[in-house]
Structure 1
Amino acid sequence: MSEQSSTKPTVRPARPFFSSGPCAKRPGWSLDVLNGALLGRSHRAPEGRARLKEVITRSRDLLGLPEGWRLGIVPGSDTGAVEMILWALAGQRGVDVLAFESFSGEWARDLREILRIDDLRVLEAPYGALPDLEAVDWSRDVVLTWNGTTSGVRMPGPDVVPAEHDGLVICDATSAAFAMDLPWDRLDIVTWSWQKVLGGEAAHGMVAISPRAAARLAAPSIRPLPKIFRLSNRKGLIEAIFEGDTINTPSMLCVEDALDGLRWADAIGGLPALQARTAANLGVVEAWVAKRDWVTFLASSPETRSSTSICLKIVAPWFACLGADDQTKAAKDIAALVAQERAGFDLASYRDAPPGLRIWGGATVEADDIAALLPWLDWAHAEVRKTYAS
């Protein structure tokens, strides 16, 4: 089965950037694309507001948001977007939350320990698997992550969510948006950040809100909210937020960069092209894994295998014989050796995930670069194995 070679490769990826956030810039990106950034000007000036509105409009069009949905730019990346929704809505009715990796586990902890929701059900699964989706009660509010960035596990398809449901479906889609089909007609609130599939910079999040969700958010909150979490006031929903009036001061440099990513996406063919690129990236890794006996996917089922956050676990016998701490160190040693050779950066699994490797396969990554990376993983594994097997 194994075609692993211990020979040191000679070809390196042209762009050895495989971080899962901030992610690789689009092909051809340079600092020159930021020359027109609106620096030294207020984001509330007509020109600044127009650029913020353009981010919203281009994102809406690229993703195909349904008529009547609102889309706004919010503080704090995807984390801020999710938290502002949970603080505003959680507890108005019972909540089911699906927890199967680091960030979905954080949402569950916040609901249980910080917001202290009385009527809360946490549906859990270990890394590599999904919770029992048949156990979800869609008459309640449901908090789910469409793609687990730290586990490489995604929802298997749009039918996961029933077309008719009484509660709101709150979807963290930060590593799925622009790369996977999202069933907008079955979701109510969707969040993401700029720093994933289109390679934008950190600190800015986006929240898309269905008419059903907007009606709930317009009602008075059941708890006090800090200013950066407020989407409504005594008059109802703050509509200006969805027209480019941000809650706090955004970076206009990051705005320009986000616009560059959106324009690039349009230029290469829009959403279908983005999805095809990330599917091709996963395909390269799948073909490689199929011929290896030392590594496999963390996702236990191909139907739930992520095409963006491609998480791998080491299954070699020598690795299995190590204790937990040594497994963590050995996996990091493999990633560090590849980075030392400048053949691939940021390949270690997330700190809370099982020891292993993670390759970002989002749309800004070239399949040829992943193909060039993989022999380096074989080589680094062979080198590290010598240390621990001796």
Structure 2
Amino acid sequence: MLTIIAALVTVYALMGSAIVAAPPAHADTKPGFGIGTTGLYRPTGSTGRYIYVDAARGADFAYDPTGHEAGDAPWPRNDCLHGNRTPYWARTNGLGSANCPQPDAAHPMRTIKVAIYASRPGDVIVVRGGTYNEAISTTGDGRTDHKGTSSTHRLVLQNYPGESVRLNGYINFQDPDYWTIAGIRFGWHSTITANRHYIVGMFGGTGWLFQRNEVSGAHGNANMLVSFASGGPSAATAPQSWRVNQNCIHNNRGTNPGNTDHNLYVKPSQYSRDGVIQRNFMWNAPNGANIKLGPSQNPAESPAYVTVRNNTLLRSGSGVVVGSTAQHISITRNVIGLPFTPNRDDGGIKTYSMRYPTTVTVNDNYIAGWPNYIRETGTNPYGHVVRQNNKVWDQLTTGSYNSCTVVPATSTVRSGWGHVAN
């Protein structure tokens, strides 16, 4: 009887978690933002579940009292959680719910990496507060199906609401179809990240959302990189319908030559469509740009159909750099200024000898601090970017950089432009 009562208590607790309101998949939840989620997302589909992660009390390995001898490696728990994928060794040794329990709130995983390995479409990975020093790849276990299947059947990685989750190292998302990543503080680690060119890498994928996160401290080309998946630029590998929304991305500490160390580096290829970078606060990329849209060396890697709107971009070499073969780019209602070093070669918005300049629009932004607020470098035989109604602002701010709370001090700027606009 006591066993039945305990089981019912567990069921009701999980039901309570399941009905917590969650923001829609691509919601811009409110004009301003704070890092972290405001509620638990719901698992979706018939097999969706919560997967909990807790560095302090979780376990990544199955407990098998019968099949192990002293010194044997433990069974990887993610392997025995996959039903018909359960390997021979797990079936032979009788691993079941007693010694390989579902990763619910009472039996969490220890690492985010293994939780991702255990995931399937519809799951919500909930990470309890703490510091996680990890190198993560969605294909690190040899499988390629850690992804959602539709906009209503997603995979979610989120912090537990109200708890601070710090992931130091890097995360590599290959083909992250219909993933939502929300509420994580990503940082550099001296041995795990080391000389890697990014901390967060999003490679390809359809319908993914990166929202309300913090990314900081890179010692290389980008705090966050958006690019194509393995296999080279093509329609099959390019990200589609992707969102970088309401994040604080800052402090790229790279010292590579040639202004190459950025906060957000976007090179999803010319085949990418419907990319949106909105309501982010980015600051401190002294050896690069807050946002770099595409390389200049390989035309096939340059971005297409990207909207950059309502961001606040401060204290960098340039606010936005647009590569030579980028096309169909819209830059609007951003606040850009306080350059780290206002070099004549930099600009609030800077372009390179553009091949498709008339498809790039720079409209209705507040820019200040550079000798040339919009700087088109090199030869421009194909014309110039389209620009209108851009204004100069006073570069007055209030708030704290370290807590990601800086906003324009002037109400007319703050209310209609930048990341906290109405």
TM-score (structure 1 length as normaliser): 0.25
TM-score (structure 2 length as normaliser): 0.23
Higher strand share: 2
